[in-house]
Structure 1
Amino acid sequence: MDFLISSVAAVGAVIITNPMDVIKTRLQLQGELKAPGQYVKVYNNVLQAGFQMLKTEGIRGLQRGVYPAALYQMVMNGTRLSLYHKLQVNGYLNSSSKDGSGATRLSNIKCVLAGASVGVISGFIASPLYLVKVQLQSQADPRLAVGTQHNHNSVIAALQASMRTGGITGLYRGASTSLLRVGVGSAAQLFTYTKCRDALHNAGVCDMKSWSNALAGAMLSGVAVTACMTPFDVLSTRLYNQGVCSTTGKGLLYKNLLDCAMQIVRTEGPLALYKGWGAVYLRIGPHSFLSLVFWDVLKDAHQKWKTGAIGESTTPVGGVNE
């Protein structure tokens, strides 16, 4: 049930935030391995990119890759959040010390390590779906195309194409970067979200159970997550989207994570590792808020259904039963 609750919460969030994910992918692929000024900028910023895509490709363009994105979120966040919740409710994340009132406290180190660990596990399991998501999101009208265009007709066709060129391992091309991306992002998100919400509550800014506390915590947490995760996000997008040799199954542009990072920095400059950071943040904040709030609401509803309880929530949004 924990997996189902986490999956449904994540899918609900991705349907709303997928357009920003598509914009992020396009911005990260623009000017691939070309020096600044040596290519025509199709996308100037988040707003202009969204408007261009809507005008040229319509709503379907902004929702490209939504099916693998939803499946990816189901598998990745379903695994990640359910495992993290299990660790929370079983007390594995608690500190050995108590706060002033004698209540159990969360251990910062345990929260970070747990967030990273469940992120790596879930990221690896869901890696093939992330590969398909990126490749479908990059597919565009020729006037807006950036990066390698794979021209897949469906999720199944994309998975079959990857297996034809690289076998089972072809489905996990770029997984090493994805593990770092999800591990770093998960640790930063699950730790800073909880801490930001606690700080806002303790400072008397907004009550822990309020939606404003959840939204503010998600947006503040999004700053830290964006700063930590964007370079790995850019590397993941490039490695997953690159073309592959039909005979060897090896990437045509990048050999591995290190080679990808070095080529980007050498040809596009260090700031290229933060391409699309604005879209990353505008996706992460709302996505964190929606998925984590949906997660808590569904958990609370399930708890009430099991116990037959009626009335006030037993678990504050983002909090832990103590």
Structure 2
Amino acid sequence: MEMLLGGTSAVCAGTITNPLEVVKIRMQLQGELQSKGKYQIHYRNVFHAGCTIAIKEGSFALQKGLRPALLYQFFMNGTRLGLYDMIDRTQFTRSKDGHVSPLRSIAVAAFAGSVGGLVGSPFFLVKTQLQSQSDRSIAVGTQHKHPNMIGAFKYIYTNYGVLGLWKGASSSLPRTCVASAVQLSTFEMSLEFARKAYPDGNRWSTAFLASLISGFFVSFAMSPFDLISTRFYNQDVDKHGKGVTYRSVLDCAAKIWKREGFLGFYKGWSANYIRIGPHTLLNLMFWDQLKHYHKEYLKGK
């Protein structure tokens, strides 16, 4: 039940924020491994990118990859939030006085995020490749030309086998590990702070404040890992299913640093920040409320 509640809350949030995910991926792939000023800029900022995609490809293009994106949210966050909640119920993340233990909370969140990232990796792979596909006039990054989600899974499985569906998983683990560690630990501590600071506040207002604080920290911490993950998943592969552009996560990071500089790791940061804030807010608010309703339901039985 914990995993179902976590997955459901993530799907609700992902449906609303998916257009920002499409914009973010396009901006992250723009100017891949090229120095500033040496590539054509199709997307100047998050708002320009959204308008450009809608004009060139139609407004529905902003919801590209929605199905695999929601499946990714369900399985990754369902696993991540479910595991965290189950461990939290054992009081392992709490100190003897009952307060949240930052170190234990971070460790559990990182573990849960890593497991969730591994479970959801095939959906993240397909989501990324579908969302990067665009009109040729504004194309960035490798264009895979999958017809749809089922077609993408079929192509990858036929050519690279079951393990091909987990291509790029090594880049996803640091991303989900860091994001989860920062998100869940800061959310739990912020929720504790909000409830103490506003004891008369309702559940929605305290969850809103806690989510807002958590989203701020997550956006800065995970952006470089998120960009590396996007590049790694979207790259072309050889006949053996191995990446053509990046051999490993460290190789990817080194090439970005060398050719694009430090700021290269924060390409698409504005879209990521605008996306992460609402997504964290909605996801954790829905999660907190669903857990509350579930507890109330069990009490009433």
- Name the TM tier (shorter chain): over 0.9
Tell whether 2:144 aligns with 1:133: no
- Aligned position for 1:255: 247
- Aligned position for 2:269: 277
- Aligned position for 1:147: 141
Change (3 A) 1:18 1:86: same
- Aligned position for 1:216: 209
Q: TM-score, normalised by structure 1?
A: 0.89
Across the aligned residues of Structure 1 and Structure 2, the Cα RMSD in angstroms comes to 1.6
- Aligned position for 2:50: 50
By how many angstroms is 1:275 displaced?
Answer: 0.8
- Post-superposition CA distance 1:139-169 (Å, at most 9, x none): 1111221101111112121122222333222
- Post-superposition CA distance 1:43-64 (Å, at most 9, x none): 0001111111122222311100
Count of residue pairs the alignment pairs up: 301
Change (3 A) 1:207 1:239: farther
- Aligned position for 2:289: 297
Counterparts of 1:275 and 1:155 in 2: how far apart (Å)? 26
Counterparts of 2:73 and 2:137 in 1: how far apart (Å)? 30
Amino acid at match of 2:298: K
- Aligned position for 2:113: 119
Unaligned runs of 5+ in 1: 99-103, 310-322
The answer to which structure has the higher helix fraction is: 2
Amino acid at match of 1:87: I
Amino acid at match of 2:153: L
Q: TM-score, normalised by structure 2?
A: 0.95
Change (3 A) 1:208 1:273: farther
Deviates more, 1:247-256 or 1:172-181: 247-256
1:198–1:208 contact (8 Å) kept in structure 2: no
By how many angstroms is 1:293 displaced?
Answer: 1.4
Tell whether 2:259 aligns with 1:267: yes
- Aligned position for 1:60: 60
Secondary structure of 1:94's aligned partner: coil
- Post-superposition CA distance 1:284-304 (Å, at most 9, x none): 111111111111222222222
Report percent identity of matched pairs: 45
- Aligned position for 1:230: 223
By how many angstroms is 1:216 displaced?
Answer: 2.8
- Whose Rg is larger? 1
By how many angstroms is 1:202 displaced?
Answer: 3.4
Tell whether 2:75 aligns with 1:75: yes
Unaligned runs of 5+ in 2: none
- Aligned position for 1:318: none
Change (3 A) 1:139 1:273: same
By how many angstroms is 1:208 displaced?
Answer: 5.4
Amino acid at match of 2:285: V
